């Protein structure tokens, strides 16, 4: 049976009666008519996908019991419908030792072999022939044995009509992917739980009232920022005023030094001294700077000292 394959063994004609196959590399499988049913129909639809919807009714009543999948190919005048049982194909391929990872593509003989010139042997008893544009599987004794071929050399290129047996891939790959899928599943459960709690936390946070409301303050950040700024500036001004006035009252004046008047308006103190020795005002300036630092700016003009609160 291995004789059906070319030397590269990339295309294989598989029949229900094919024995076990040893595949080294990937394989393109051509299924003999024993795996599928075919029917031609003329439909007033433009697309294959639309035509495919009619497939179950087209085959209704003519298929043996089973779970069928359908495939349609558009020809010039009509649609060609295929009905196949993926489970049957899967189990058959498994029995022949072909794994899903080894399969490059699965094709119907109808689509790949309709141009063959000579009959091709597909098992010990049968051969595949073309009759009225239809690929048929017939007993070998019905064909001329001298022209019977045992390989698929005539098929140079495969069509685009590849079918997929999802179930096959699942049954095969699910085992390989099971650990990854279960880890992913666990992570999904974990993150969903986390998301649930995070969402709850967010809702709880949103339901809480404004912090400013707790302190009986205006609701917005901008308003409070402005209030704080105003309070700070007022606090600084008052503190500076107090510090300055107490510093003035505690000035270490000499016996001859006396303050004639002290006035304050618009953040400016004016101190008028009664004294002859103006130079000694510098000592007082120094004292004020020492006790008040950068809070004040001092100007001296003769016996008048102007202290500005900065």
d(CA 49, CA 54): 10
d(CA 305, CA 68): 109
d(CA 294, CA 166): 84
What's the Cα-to-Cα distance from 280 to each of 246, 292, 297, rounded to whole Å? 20, 19, 18
Q: Binding of another protein at residue 118 (CB under 8 A)?
A: no
Cross-strand pairs, 128: 120, 137
Span interacting with another protein, options 18-26, 136-144, 152-160, 245-253, rule CB under 8 A: 245-253
Contact pattern from residue 22 through residue 51 relative to another protein, giving x for each residue in contact according to CB under 8 A and a dash for the rest: ------------------------------
Please select the residue that binds another protein; options are 201, 278, 299, 302, rule is CB under 8 A: 201
Please select the residue that binds another protein; options are 22, 150, 242, 297, rule is CB under 8 A: 242
Q: Binding of another protein at residue 310 (CB under 8 A)?
A: no
Q: Tell the smallest beta-carbon distance from residue 126 to another protein (Å).
A: 28
What's the Cα-to-Cα distance from 11 to each of 14, 51, 93, 156, 310, rounded to whole Å? 10, 29, 14, 10, 95
The CA-CA-CA angle for residues 213, 216, 222, to 5°, reads 70
Longest dimension (CA), the chain: 148
Cβ nearer to another protein, comparing 12 with 86? 86
The binding site for another protein (CB under 8 A) comprises: 52, 67, 69-70, 86, 166-167, 169-170, 173-174, 177, 180-181, 184-185, 187-188, 191-192, 194-195, 198-199, 201-202, 205-206, 208, 210-212, 214-215, 217, 221, 224-225, 227-228, 231-232, 234-235, 238, 241-242, 245-246, 249, 258-265, 274
């Amino acid at each position: 049976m291995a004789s059906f394959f070319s030397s590269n063994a990339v295309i294989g004609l598989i029949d229900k009666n094919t024995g076990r196959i040893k595949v080294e590399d990937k394989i393109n499988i051509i299924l003999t008519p024993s795996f599928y049913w075919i029917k031609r129909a003329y439909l007033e639809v433009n697309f294959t996908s639309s035509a495919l919807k009619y497939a179950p009714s087209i085959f209704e009543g003519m298929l043996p019991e089973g779970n069928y999948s359908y495939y349609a190919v558009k020809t010039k005048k009509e649609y060609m419908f295929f009905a196949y049982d993926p489970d049957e194909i899967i189990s058959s391929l498994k029995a022949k030792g072909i794994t899903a990872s080894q399969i490059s593509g699965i094709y119907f003989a109808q689509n790949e072999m309709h141009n063959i010139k000579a009959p091709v042997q597909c098992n010990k008893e049968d051969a595949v022939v073309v009759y009225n544009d239809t690929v048929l599987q017939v007993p070998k004794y019905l064909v001329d044995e001298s022209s019977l071929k045992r390989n698929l050399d005539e098929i140079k290129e495969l069509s685009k009509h590849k079918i997929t047996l999802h179930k096959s891939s699942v049954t095969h790959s699910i085992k390989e992917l099971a650990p990854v899928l279960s880890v992913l599943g666990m992570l999904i459960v974990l993150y969903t739980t986390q998301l649930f709690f995070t969402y709850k936390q967010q809702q709880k946070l949103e339901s809480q009232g404004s912090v400013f409301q707790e302190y009986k303050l205006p609701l917005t950040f901008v308003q409070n920022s402005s209030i704080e700024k105003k309070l700070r500036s007022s606090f600084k001004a008052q503190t500076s005023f107090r510090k300055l006035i107490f510093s003035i009252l505690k000035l270490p004046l000499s016996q001859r030094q006396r303050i004639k008047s002290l006035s304050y308006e618009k953040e400016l103190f004016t101190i008028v001294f009664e004294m002859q020795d103006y130079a000694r005002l510098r000592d007082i300036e120094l004292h004020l700077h020492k006790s008040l630092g950068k809070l004040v700016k001092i100007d001296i003009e003769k016996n008048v000292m102007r202290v500005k609160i900065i």
